[in-house]
Structure 1
Amino acid sequence: MSHFSTIKTQYNNRKVLLQSLKQMGLKVTEYQQPVQLNTTWNSQGFANLIVERAQINSSSDIGFLYEDNTYKLVCDDYDLRRSTRPNFKQELGSNYTVATAQKLG
């Protein structure tokens, strides 16, 4: 059985995070208050920014929970590894770093 993990990140700029996800070809739904992520498993995760599972052919959504001035990644690692984006975390990290560098000039 899978479950959601909450992973601390250094993603603290919402615009850069959204831009990075868009560059990956992903559509993000935003919520003011955290909402529950969708999954076929009996697990729960909550997030403010959500990439729906159908976009990555996964059993679970990917989310970002805004807490303590950063966005924490909320995902099911098992499902993510089996999705069409098994390197999602690495790809996002690279995109976020490049976008931050471009923003800083």
Structure 2
Amino acid sequence: MSHFSTIRTQLRCRTSLLAGLRDVVTPLCSDSDSLEAFLNQAVRTYEAPVQLQTAYSDVAHCEVVVSRSAIGHHTDIGFRLNQSTGIYELVSDDYRYYASTLAQHYSEIEGFSQQVQLRHDRHYAVAQAMTQGFVLQDELVDPVTRQVKLTLSRC
């Protein structure tokens, strides 16, 4: 029996997904001097789906992987592209999630998913605005809801 479950998202842009994941896992790095090395090890991307690493015999394949060692969990967390919708789905095994390092920041996997979605959307919005001649002037993040307010202006 598989422990893996799939959470629907609205993550459409791979570049924004990767940037958002890097934002979300950055607080897990204990040594700021090695942040870039940590991020490169924590968030990996592949052209074809790869098998998630797990302590169990379950199998799931994803194109974007958050390393289990980076999040202090027994299983990688993955994002799999649904070919029919063009949307990435979060794939995780939330068995004993509460014991992971990630759970210290996001009490449930859904909270992690929501934060990744918010950061993805932020990166996507800024990228789209820049293609239309805008620049980011200011960014405010609500400390409770973690919602982002962007102030843009024309060049």
TM-score bracket, shorter-length normalisation = 0.7 to 0.9
Hey, which bits of structure 1, 4+ residues long, moved more than 6 A? none
Among 71, 83, 100, the residue aligned to 2:88: 71
Report the Cα distance in structure 1 between the residues aligned to 2:51 and 2:3, rounded to whole angstroms. Answer: 13
> Does 1:85 pair with 2:102?
yes
- Higher Rg: 2
Among 55, 58, 67, the residue aligned to 2:70: 55
* Distance 1:93-1:81 versus aligned 2 partners, 3 A rule: farther
> What is the letter of the counterpart of residue 69 of structure 2?
A
Identity in percent = 37
- Name the structure 2 match of 1:104: 128
Query: CA offsets per residue over residues 8-27 of structure 1, 9 Å max, x none?
Result: 21101000000101112243
* Distance 1:80-1:91 versus aligned 2 partners, 3 A rule: farther
Query: CA offsets per residue over residues 39-79 of structure 1, 9 Å max, x none?
Result: 11221111011111000100000111112211111111224
SS in 1 for 2:95: helix
Structure 2, unaligned runs of 5 or more = 27-38, 107-111, 130-155
> What is the letter of the counterpart of residue 18 of structure 1?
L
1:100 Cα deviation from its structure 2 partner:
2.6
Identify which of structures 1 and 2 has the higher relative contact order when contacts are C-alpha pairs closer than 8 Å and 6+ apart: 1
- What is the aligned residue count? 105
> What is the letter of the counterpart of residue 11 of structure 1?
L
Q: Tell me the TM-score normalized by structure 2.
A: 0.60
Structure 1, unaligned runs of 5 or more = none
> Does 1:3 pair with 2:21?
no
- Stretch of structure 1 that moved more, 50-59 or 39-48: 39-48
8 Å CA contact retained: 2:2, 2:59: no
Q: Tell me the TM-score normalized by structure 1.
A: 0.85
- Name the structure 2 match of 1:19: 19
